[in-house]
Amino acid sequence: MPELPEVETIRRQLAPQLIGATLTRVEILDPRWTRPVDPKPVSKALTGAVVVSLDRAGKYLIWGLDGDRQLLMHLRMSGALLWSPVPEPIHTRVRFSLDSGQRVCFTDPRRFGTGQLFGSRIDLDAHLAARLGPEPLTPAFSAAVLARRARGRSAPVKAFILDQREIAGVGNIYADESLFRARIHPLTPVGALSASRWKALATAIEAALALGIDAKGASIDDFRHVDGQRGSFQDSFLVYGRTGQPCPVCGTPISKLVVGGRGTHICERCQRRPRRLRR
């Protein structure tokens, strides 16, 4: 699933092309994209709209339209936004035609991606506030904030990181990379982390995300840039997807376990298990 760096990459690539453009026609080819809302009124409302901004919140892409309307897109598992692709992919779910003669195609083989139209930024912000925690790389994100949100909880720290209500934008790849950088075992109870370990983890999360943005995202499955090219962060993974390969720090083979139903990659030597879990 595209995470914060991948969605930010898409935003940066599309913004110069979209801002100021008029949507001359919007074809919603898959009604699941707007479910449970009927796609026809959404298509009608979007047609003729002028794009005034392109923002991001966590893993969401936000099209700001004239009249303060907001289109909230989530790419989910396999969604991608492509700029005038030739030929057009068979899995195109939405086609945005522009007054320049160009088009943006939303492709999504697994059909989990969504689009939701809001009447105002206030309505959108209220929707996001109920679903997203503080976002890394912003002033709202800090070790102290995370420690306060985790106080008294026994969930594994990785499950906490993946919960979008606690930290916005971090998914499986960047959670594994961040925990390794912070030398924290993913099964560690989140409420048991000390202030110093929270500081290390907050720093590691922001470092991993910043590197992912610099590399224009990670392409290990479906993620592609708007021109169809791949991101390169997968070439710099420290632990994710490297099961059996040597740890870049100590040489111990990287192992894989399951935490909260998600495949998790760690170095058992650099990331020591909590004492009560060592058996």
Q: Give catalytic residue positions.
A: 2-3, 59, 262
- Cα–Cα distance between 84 and 63 in angstroms, integer? 18
Which residues lie closer than 8 Å to 38 by C-beta, 6 or more apart? 31
Main-chain dihedrals φ then ψ at residue 135, nearest 5 degrees: -100, 130
The SS3 call for residue 54 is strand
- The candidate with the shortest Cα–Cα distance to 146, out of 156, 128, 161, is 161
CA 158 to chain centre: 16
Instruction: Of 73, 71, 72, 82, give the one whose Cα is nearest residue 106.
Output: 82
Name the token pair of 12.
């940066």
Distance separating alpha carbons of residues 150 and 147, to the nearest angstrom = 5
Q: What is the rounded radius of gyration, in angstroms, for the C-alpha atoms of the chain?
A: 20
Q: Tell how strand 70-74 and strand 23-28 pair up.
A: unpaired
